[in-house]
Structure 1
Amino acid sequence: MIMAKLSVAEHGRTLTLNDKPFFYLADTVWSAFTNASIEEWAEYLDVRKMQGFNVLQINLLRQWDASGSDIQIDPFSLNKDGSYDYYSLNEEYFERAEQMVGMAVQRGFIPALVLLWCNYVPDTWAGMFQKDNKMPFDAVEPYVRYAVERFSKYNPIYFISGDTDFPSERANAYYMKALEVVQAVSPESINTLHIQGRLRDLPEEFENHDGLDFYMYQSGHNSQFQFMAHEIAQHFYTRPRTRPVINGEPCYEQISYSRNVYGRYSRFDARKAAWQSLLAGGGAGITYGAHGIWSWHKQGQKFGIVEGEGFDAPYDWRDALRFEGAWDYAFIKYLFESYNLVGISPADMVLNETPEIRAAANDDTIVLYIPVNTRVRLNRDVRDYTFTTIDLEKKRFAVTEVATKDGKSVIPMHRFEQDVVVIGQRK
């Protein structure tokens, strides 16, 4: 079994695989190790492989807000009161997790393993929901060392943190210790931080750390802040320390709006968040999520056993696995690879007075995302380009005539009913 090994391109804007640009297309499956049976896992992997996904984001430990599970297995031994004994690793749990990682790698996936979700760390925002049973600081090093020694042969990406807000020096010390252990045990690993939704400022000691290979952010599930998909991408793209940028948690398809707000994110919402992230600076890749997959929900099981962020019930995982939005994200990967767009740079060329229309460009290609139909005005002469408009819902391609005058251009209103991407290629 030949395992994929990632690196960061010399220019710092993309990940590479075998020296070729790698478009990171991940699925969010945080709860797989505690909730999915081996048979279910095989079914899931076969579908996502067919769709073209290449990374799986999994919590190495139990996800604090996962759905109820009929698999009674935990990563640590239990004390009499049901709490974790963090000094006693459950070998059976990690053997099973390794089997699942092996199955994924055999099908061509790169595992992205979260080492310390924020509920295991003191002082983080999740403390208000899960106040007890934090991991003692002196248990961090042996746990992380054990995990990295066990899984590094599969060349995973390590998420040092999960959903963290870096609230205190005490909490930050946990993540720094984990990062140092990963570097010592597996110095060639690709590492990042999964940070709290809408967070854009990393502590200086992490932002400047040589052990972090790419920026990951999450625009998240709050209905008031979906513009963060492009705003935070642009922020990290312009940081002094150049790294690839990836939105690792845009709004999940069919998840309800957070904070108990009525409504759910549609296929269109998830697609819009992806394209706006990619063209605003996050062109190294994107992560998809389906409400029912991340928590591995089974009909009849409880959801929100620990009071969480106010999400409505998930779909059964098999229903969620077949949401159409996953195909939209697979189509994004197809377009990025077909038109050589991986790592494309944001471009300030749109004259329409809205940040919703996003533009990006490289030496030979211009890409625009238009979520709501209108004519688009550009501050650029594009007579040297031929344009194609792509209907993102029905995957239809249309030849597009663009008018240019006095150094400015106009893309006419297209004839499709949903959002589109317009791609211009230099003649």
Structure 2
Amino acid sequence: MKVTYSYLLSLLLVLTSATNLAAQTVGKLSVSANRRFIQRDGKPFFWLGDTGWLLFVKLDREAVDNYLEDRHQKGFNVIQVMVVHDLRKAVNVYGDSAFVNNDLSKPLTTPGASFASKQQYDFWDHVDYVVNKAASKGIYLGMVPVWGSNIKGGLANREQAAIYTKFLVNRYKRSGNIIWLNGGDIKGSDSAAVWKTIGTTLKKHDPNHLVTFHPRGRSSSSEWFHNENWLDFDMFQSGHKSYAQDTTDIRIGEDNWRYVRTDFGKLPKKPSIDGEPSYEKIPQGLHDTLAPLWTDADVRRYGYWSVFAGGFGYTYGDNTVMQFRRPGDGPGAYGAKDYWYQAIHDPGSSQVQWLKKLILGKPFFERIPDQSLIANQGEKYNYLAATRGRRYAFVYSYTGRTMKINMGKIAGTRVKTSWYDPRTGKTTPGATVSNSGVKEFGPPGEEKEGNDWVLVLESI
């Protein structure tokens, strides 16, 4: 294929302009001064993540564009994605292998990057395309370098991981929209030396990007790595089991707010987030496809519970979307029946944006969890989650039950009340009351699971 120098120069200018535009769009993320939130260029940043684990290998460029545009329109600003899911078959939709002979320390790259040339456009060029396309839409990629099962299964060692991590850093440290998720559904105690090597390598050679650790279900990065200098914030995976299915000693079950409370109890202070709650339309407990499926109501509950406990954001997930099931893929994992381009319209994906809107609508950095607002606390689904600033407070009920609130926790002698609908983001005006004593508030509708509401209190 004959290509002129002038054509290559023009193409280079176009790509450079696009990359610069992308970098300007996303901004630099950092931990806030009070060590509880993430900020973008010093301004509030509410992490609204989607779980797109197999994005790099399952979608072609057109599908990538469609997926990212859908998520952009719904307010998502982070996509969590694996760079390497299975080292033994690290091949993308175009048939390009990521490595030479499945060796993690030998990424397979070819000269050039033209999509028009099969010889030039390789696995890593496609990753570049996704990174740049996401940045142009203001979306960050939470990239897992190598999924935990590869290391635990002995497919790569510490030395190979170090070489590979340096390759990733050198390739993406100038991309503004990268967040590094070390680990990948694994306990930090499994192959701990490898995870520490990856973490320290990332932070040493790429200090301008945030780093965390994606752990096994029902655990948090804080259990193993909270004091590591490379860990900027804690991430926990509350997981996919119900109260009845959780047989661990601590029996947290669905109470994902407890992980935030535990993380916040450790020093030094670091932000905390639920990086993998139950996915929409995945079986409870994962493996029994006849079990009840988690719903959009559960997705909302996990979001409001963890954020009101102090979480700096929330990651949504959908069973079909996270695996990007396509026609011809065969039976979906965990009983998935739809295709990804159908499942992106599942209701929970449109509803979680209202949590982001609610939080960003009030002074951001002053917000704290405050359960002392609650005078009639309940357990499990009747739990009431409360958070507040100086002149506002939010209280979330998953069942729409009556709330008894200890007043006087925010400024002012009178308080305006309203009800915020997590399904639609719409507000229903309530009464104006004195800011003293214990007040009782009843949400709209009947008391039942999934009739969730947020009581909004605002100082007058």
For Structure 1 versus Structure 2, the TM-score category normalised by the shorter chain is 0.7 to 0.9
The CA distance in 1 between the partners of 2:437 and 2:278, in whole Å, is 38
Residue 286 (str. 1) matches residue 306 (str. 2): no
What is the CA distance between 1:228 and its match in structure 2? Answer: 3.1
State how far apart, in whole Å, the 2-side matches of 1:343 and 1:36 are: 40
Query: Contact 1:381–1:408 at 8 Å: present in 2 too?
Result: no
Compared CA separation, residues 314 and 182, structure 1 to 2 (3 A): farther
Amino acid paired to 2:378: T
Aligned mates of 1:345, 1:361 — CA distance in 2? 6
Distance change >3 Å, CA 406–CA 101, structure 1 → 2 = closer
| Aligned equivalent of 2:168 | 147
Inter-CA distance 161–172: structure 2 relative to 1 (3 Å threshold): same
Paired residue for 2:329, among 286, 295, 301?
301
1:351 aligns with one of 370, 375, 385: 375
Distance apart, 1:63 and its partner CA? 5.4
Distance 1:214 1:303, change over 3 A: farther
Q: Which amino acid aligns with 1:186?
A: D
* Preserved CA contact (<8 Å) 1:4 1:110: no
Aligned to 1:126: none
Q: 1:259 to 1:266 in 2, by over 3 A?
A: closer
- Preserved contact between residue 193 and residue 215 of structure 1 (Cα < 8 Å): yes
Is the aligned partner of 1:371 residue 2:398? yes
Letter in 1 for 2:180: Y
Equivalences, count:
404
Counterpart pick for 2:228 among 209, 228, 234: 209
Quote the Cα distance in structure 1 between the aligned partners of 2:36 and 2:221. Answer: 19
Q: The residue matched to 2:215 in structure 1 has which SS?
A: coil
Over aligned residue pairs, what C-alpha RMSD do you find? 2.5
Given that 1:160 and 1:191 are in contact with CA atoms closer than 8 Å, whether structure 2 keeps it comes out as: yes
Partner of 1:49: 72
Give 1:352 deviation, angstroms: 1.8
Mapping of residues 211-226 of structure 1, within 5 Å: 211-224=230-243, 225=246, 226=253
Query: Which residue among 93, 104, 107 is the counterpart of 1:86?
Result: 104
- Which residue identity is paired with 1:336? I
Structure 1 position 157 matched with structure 2 position 201? no
The secondary structure found in structure 2 opposite 1:157 is strand
Deviation at 1:164, TM superposition (A): 1.6
Structure 2 CA distance, aligned partners of 1:201 and 1:106?
A: 30
Amino acid at match of 1:293: V
How far apart in 1 are the matches of 2:94 and 2:376?
Answer: 53
Secondary structure of 2:167's aligned partner: helix
Contact 1:229 / 1:274 at 8 angstroms: preserved in 2?
no
Relative to structure 1, is the Cα distance of residues 62 and 274 closer, same or farther in structure 2, using a 3 angstrom cutoff? Answer: same
Q: CA deviation at 1:345?
A: 1.5
Distance 1:278 1:46, change over 3 A: same
Partner of 1:183: 203
Q: Which amino acid aligns with 2:298?
A: D
The 2-side partners of 1:378 and 1:141 are apart by 53
Shift of 1:296: 1.0
Q: Which residue is 1:307 aligned to? A: none
Residue in 1 that maps onto 2:96: 73
Cα gap change, 1:203/1:354 in structure 2, threshold over 3 Å: closer, same or farther?
closer
Compared CA separation, residues 179 and 394, structure 1 to 2 (3 A): closer
1:266 paired to 2:266: no
Deviation at 1:391, TM superposition (A): 2.0
Give the Cα separation in 1 of the matches to 2:433 and 2:99.
65
- The Cα shift of 1:395 comes to 3.6
With over 3 angstroms needed to count, the CA separation of the structure-2 counterparts of 1:65 and 1:285, relative to structure 1, is: farther
- Aligned partner of residue 142 in structure 2, secondary structure: strand
* Correspondence for 2:458: 425
Tell me, what secondary structure is at the counterpart of 1:293?
Answer: helix
Match of 1:128 in 2: none
How far apart, CA to CA, are the structure 2 residues paired with 1:222 and 1:402?
41
Q: Is the 8 A contact 1:328 1:392 kept in 2?
A: yes
Q: Structure 1's 412 and 263: CA in aligned 2 closer, same or farther, altered over 3 A? A: closer
* More moved, 369-378 vs 411-420: 411-420
Q: Tell me how far apart the structure 2 counterparts of residues 361 and 150 of structure 1 sit (CA, whole Å).
A: 42
Counterpart of 1:127 in structure 2 is none
Does structure 2 conserve the Cα–Cα contact (< 8 Å) formed by 1:402 and 1:409?
A: no
CA shift for structure 1 position 376: 0.5
Cα distance in 2 between the residues matched to 1:384 and 1:219? 38
Structure 1 residue aligned with 2:138 = 108
Deviations 1:196-247 (A, max 9, x none): 111147455x211222111111111112355231111221122222111111
* Cα separation, 2, equivalents of 1:423 and 1:163: 36
| Structure 2 counterpart of 1:176, one-letter code | K
Deviation at 1:413, TM superposition (A): 4.0
Deviation at 1:72, TM superposition (A): 2.9
- 2:158 aligns with 137
2:204 alignment partner, SS class = helix
Aligned CA distance change for structure 1 residues 100 and 362 (closer, same or farther; 3 Å): same
1:300 shift after superposition: 3.4
* Greater displacement, 337-346 / 270-279: 337-346
Identity of aligned residues (%): 22
Distance 1:352 1:11, change over 3 A: same
| Gapped regions of structure 1 (runs ≥ 5) | 79-83, 123-130, 305-309
Larger CA Rg, structure 1 vs 2: 2
Secondary structure at the aligned position of 1:281 is classed as coil
The alignment status of 1:340 with 2:370, answered yes or no, reads: no
- Once residues 88 and 403 of structure 2 are traced to their aligned partners in structure 1, the CA distance between those partners, rounded to angstroms, is 43
Judged with a 3 Å threshold, the aligned counterparts in structure 2 of structure 1 residues 321 and 405 are, in CA distance, closer, same or farther, namely closer
Shift in alpha-carbon separation, 1:303–1:166, aligned structure 2, 3 A: farther
Give 2:419's aligned residue: 389
